[in-house]
A and B are shown apart, each in its own frame.
Chain A
Amino acid sequence: RQRTMTDHKTSKEQKYDRQLRLWGDHGQEGLENAHVCLLNATATGTEILKNLVLPGIGAFTIVDGHKVSGEDVGNNFFLTSSSIGKNRAQAATELLQELNSDVSGNFVEESPDKLLDNDPEFFHRFSLVIGVQLPESTCLRLGSVLWDAGVPFLVCRTYGLIGYMRLIVKEHTVIESHPDNALEDLRLDQPFTELKHHIESYDLDSMEKKDHSHTPWIIVVAKYLEKWYSEHNSQLPKNYKEKEAFRQLIREGILTNENGTPEDEENFEEAIKNVNTALNPTKVPSATEDIFNAEQCENITSQSPSFWVMAHGVRDFVRNEGNGKLPVRGTIPDMIADSDKFIKLQNVYRDKAMKDAAVVSKHVEALLQSFGKPPESISEQEIKLFCKNAAFLRVVRCRSLAEEYSMDTFNKDEITSCMDSADSEMVLYLMLRSVDRFYQQHSRYPGQKSYQKNLETLNHNGNSANVIFISSSCRYGAAEPHTVAAFLGGSAAQEAIKIITHQFVPFNNTFLYNAMSQTSATFQL
């Protein structure tokens, strides 16, 4: 059992320690195998890359045909005055590369449009393409190429005090979504055989105080549930009144001393507190149900990603051995109990989880074999992880840019219903769309060159809201203030990490940030 110095962490483990605690070694590995492409090394772009280089992305490539201007240096931490006149992709690559020697930085001195003209397949090699401050036409062209190639595309822009992100990915599966407040999987409403046996091994009424006070609350609830069943026709407490009565039943089980005053039994207090959630009926969550019912789950082929193969395997389990229930998750929360009782109870759940995962494995193996793939193509470890997260699986599908922009399919309902609300960030989206239209015609943004303005008094008709935004959008003059770029830089980088690691859930699909009010919103357009 003696460990040696090999346990002592490598300097990479030490450097990345704080983030490894979030996405684990396997997440880090995914990150280190990724190659990201950034279009345009503006402040927004370099801030995004900074937040990918620091955590150790494998490689990045900046595509930018611009030369560095004085204005560029003023808001960009990764450009200096000595880079003025040089190619922006190269200048930024040098200073970004310098952040982390583990990362490989590359640059292409070319405009994205030229690349799309001459070599669109250039983009196929990337794990993710991030387009920053791109004109609408370039976005749409690139969007089409990446959609067909199955490469995720993240569009970002800073426009004055507005931040905008759009994620385009056909289908993104997540096994490890790491939900913030997940409900426990205790099966108290339908205890599996091994759990039943274990509960039977306890006799609360005959216990000494020490044991009584250190019996896990799960056992306490289970025992009192049996009592309740015998008096209520085997029906779970359903409404508030019944749950209150059930809590009272448990409370009456607290030991009393010679004077009749109740003893201090924290485990019973825990039981009472947990009644509300512990008796939730065990069922497959709707998100998981949707995954089971998806076409990709139903029709497995040799091309199917392992996510769908495993989903099909779990679905088979649910419909057979699982009796409508997912494989047991296998974890229980900490609770007041002596070590022995707790560990034994924990092992009951753990062992059952292992058993269930083994059954799922059999289903998966059979599937793989049915189209000539070796069973090792999906490892035990992967299957175990999948089973453990079966209640938290997520699939994100984003509409294409073509769908968003086409007059036939643009999401009119979402847009108009948001505009009902006075403070909705949707108006910012419309403003950006209009600004893009202006750019198409004038090859510049409103107010970009100069701003001689005596704004006309406009009659107060229903269009005055739009006028005020017009005025502010002129005022912005397509400015890219650093703090807004930095906010987007952090936001976009984390979404990129989600896409690459397949952990945590990406947004779907349009994010707007208003730095004036410090508010934001996500729309599905």
Chain B
Amino acid sequence: MKNSREFQNFYFENDVVRQVVIALPRHKVAHFTLNVYDNMAEGEEPMVVDGGNGDRSDWQGQWDHVKKFLERAGPFTHPDFEPSTESLQFLMDTCKILVIGAGGLGCELLKDLALSGFRHIHVVDMDTIDISNLNRQFLFRPKDVGRPKAEVAADFVNDRVLGCNVVPHFKKIQDLDESFYRQFHIVVCGLDSVVARRWMNGMLLSLLIYEDGVLDPSSIIPLIDGGTEGFKGNARVILPGMTACIDCTLELYPPQINFPMCTIASMPRLPEHCVEYVRILLWPKEKPFGDGEALDGDDPKHIQWVYQKSLDRAAEFSITGVTYRLTQGVVKRIIPAVASTNAVIAAACATEVFKIATSAYVPLNNYMVFNDVDGLYTYTFEAERKENCSACSQVPQDLQFLPSAKLQEVLDYLTENASLQMKSPAITTTLDGKNKTLYLQTVASIEERTRPNLSKTLKELGLVDGQELAVADVTTPQTVLFKLNFIS
């Protein structure tokens, strides 16, 4: 008791504080209290005695920093929180976290989780290490270039943080199935692709169990998602089936703008247009490194060739500004990146993982953006669920077309609509009791066979009003159901 009273005295004896509190009208301070602490637990919990260090730590005091939160109550804790030594035990022994990505965010996440007490961590990444990763992906060294990121990252963390067991998976997320994902308590993503995010989102949604239309909370695997670009970033908490999912807020990820073909082909104005001309038109024509040899943005010889030809193209039109760096940036669609932004966003994500795993504090609800171009700016808001979200609403999506519309129009809608943004949708339906593929792009032979359907009308294809179309796409592990409504 002595400490709190003593401290209270000093709090008010601090001249600055006293001056401020005196200056505030009473009711304003009380109002402040009520608003902020509305949701807080009533009364204070008698404190559990802070005993020894537990028998799991490897040296005296290893987890002291973490324990101060898990073994003490406070007014900001989650209503369900019970201070105990069990939280730390759960964190260390039982809790399984999946980290998606071992790149800029992934490396930071692994470190943050390991130093927060998590011991059972899996990490998935399909990439190998590149020299341009080394300015921020600090678990990698020049000697590791070419090796799988997941494996090198796991080795490093396991070596540096005693007791931590990071298990790597040098795979695409799509190569793992639901039995894999189901084992985790929390999934945290540090991806650089919207497509991959949406897939992960879809996978966790597919694991939800509904009984008589009611969601079983124990089937929810929280998804913490982080993203960065230069000096900007965001962190969000998704409780699949309960809060806004990735697809609910697809407009927050506007589609990448590509330059119009006529600009690239005949009216270049910027150095970027010249590079795109070489990449899209000249390379397939001249096949500089042999038939069937695709342009590899990571091959310096390829980039050098593109650079030379881009200079030539630019010279033709008196365009200045083509550099090797610009050329590579356009070909690889490079997004600038630094260590600091990744550190900030990963830290925010890891804090959320800790909060959710321990119920020690109310989690972020549910989206935070960060920008440190001019000072430091954060903005936190609650992203809302979309009623008819194509991923999480379980409602068949509406498609409105004239019967005389061509299948191509439907395809265009699926790819161009801001809320759908599909990449290469495959459309199937049931006709005369049989499953029929209307169009599929990803397998050459089927693409060729079904291509004529694109110029047929929906009526010609035998589709009727209310027809259900099943659409598969790389953006989701499950097919999306659409309902065709004929308009007149």
Contact = CB atoms under 8 A, between A and B. Distances in A.
Nearest to A442: B6
A507 B354 CA distance: 29
Contact of A22 (B72, B75, B230, B347): B230
B443 interface: no
B444 interface: no
A495 B343 CA distance: 13
A504 interface: yes
17 contacts: A1-B315, A14-B131, A71-B64, A76-B115, A77-B111, A180-B371, A407-B16, A423-B35, A434-B7, A437-B10, A447-B68, A453-B4, A462-B29, A483-B116, A486-B344, A507-B376, A516-B76
A284 interface: no
B112 A482 contact: yes
Nearest to B336: A21
B317 interface: yes
A161 B112 CA distance: 14
Contact of A472 (B33, B75, B162): B75
Contacts of B339: 50-51, 54-55, 490, 493
Interface in B204-258: 230-231, 235
Given A15-B134, A18-B334, A343-B318, 12 more contacts: A11-B142, A22-B336, A73-B62, A75-B65, A76-B115, A84-B59, A161-B69, A430-B16, A430-B17, A468-B75, A515-B351, A520-B378
A392 B9 CA distance: 48
B62 A482 contact: no
A412 B23 CA distance: 9
Nearest to A337: B269
Interface stretch (A2-10, A142-150, A366-374, A382-390): A2-10
Interface in A1-51: 1-3, 7-9, 11, 14-22, 43, 47, 50-51
A98 to B, nearest CB: 8
A77 B342 CA distance: 16
Interface string B322-346: 0011001100001111111111111
Contacts of B134: 15, 54
A137 interface: no
Q: How large is the interface on A (under 10, 10 to 19, 20 to 34, 35 or more residues)?
A: 35 or more
A450 B4 CA distance: 12
A441 to B, nearest CB: 7
Interface in A452-477: 452-457, 460-468, 470-477
Q: From B7, B23, B69, name the one whose CB has the most chain A CB atoms within 10 angstroms.
A: B7
B21 A491 contact: no
Interface stretch (B42-50, B287-295, B392-400): B42-50
B487 interface: no
Q: From B63, B340, B341, name the one whose CB has the most chain A CB atoms within 10 angstroms.
A: B340
A233 interface: no
Contacts of B16: 407, 410, 415, 430, 433
A519 B351 CA distance: 13
A471 B347 contact: no
Contacts of B179: none
Interface string B22-49: 0110111111110111001001101101
A473 B75 CA distance: 10
A17 B294 CA distance: 23
Instruction: Sort A-B residue pairs by CB-CB distance and give the 7 closest, nearest first.
Output: A490-B343, A70-B61, A490-B344, A486-B347, A462-B26, A487-B347, A507-B375
Contacts of B268: 339
B29 A482 contact: no
Interface string B358-392: 00011010001001111110101000000000000
Contacts of B37: 468
B115 A437 contact: no
B75 A471 contact: yes
B350 interface: yes
Interface string B140-163: 001000000000000000001110
A12 B49 CA distance: 54
Given A180-B374, A483-B351, A99 B61 contact: no
Given A54-B339, A490-B347, A339 B319 contact: yes
Given A343-B269, A451-B50, A456-B4, A17 B132 contact: yes
B13 to A, nearest CB: 7
B72 A8 contact: no
B203 interface: no
Given A339-B268, A416-B24, A487-B347, A69 B340 contact: no
Nearest to A503: B373
A497 B354 CA distance: 30
B14 interface: yes
B188 to A, nearest CB: 12
Interface of A: 1-3, 7-9, 11, 14-22, 43, 47, 50-51, 54-56, 69-71, 73-77, 80-81, 84, 99, 160-161, 177-180, 214, 334-340, 342-343, 346, 407, 410, 412, 415-416, 419-420, 422-423, 427, 430, 433-434, 437-438, 441-442, 446-447, 450-457, 460-468, 470-477, 479-484, 486-487, 489-491, 493-495, 497, 504-508, 511, 513, 515-520, 522
A179 B7 contact: no
A339 B17 contact: no
B348 interface: yes
A454 B46 contact: yes
A7 B10 contact: no
Nearest to A158: B65
A68 B312 CA distance: 60
A79 to B, nearest CB: 10
B317 A339 contact: yes
A438 B7 contact: yes
Contacts of B72: 451, 475, 477
Contacts, number: 369
A409 B60 CA distance: 45
B19 interface: yes
A412 B19 contact: yes
Contacts of B108: 486
B344 A487 contact: yes
A516 B361 contact: yes
A457 B318 CA distance: 78
A441 B6 CA distance: 10
A415 B4 contact: no
A46 to B, nearest CB: 11
Nearest to B48: A451
Contact of A481 (B116, B344, B380): B116
B10 to A, nearest CB: 5
A17 B325 contact: yes
Contact of B28 (A11, A55, A179, A419): A419
B60 A494 contact: no
Contacts of A460: 30, 33
A478 to B, nearest CB: 9
Interface stretch (B300-308, B410-418, B463-471): B300-308
Nearest to B1: A454
A39 B287 CA distance: 57
A74 B114 CA distance: 10
A447 B67 CA distance: 13
B267 A339 contact: yes
A291 B173 CA distance: 53
A460 B129 CA distance: 59
B435 interface: no
Contact of B376 (A430, A481, A486, A520): A520
A18 B115 contact: no
B73 A467 contact: no
B263 to A, nearest CB: 8
Nearest to A476: B68
B61 A74 contact: yes
B191 interface: no
B11 A434 contact: yes
Given A3-B308, A481-B69, A475 B74 contact: yes
B3 interface: yes
Contacts of A410: 16
Given A422-B36, A471-B74, A50 B138 contact: yes
Contacts of B43: 457
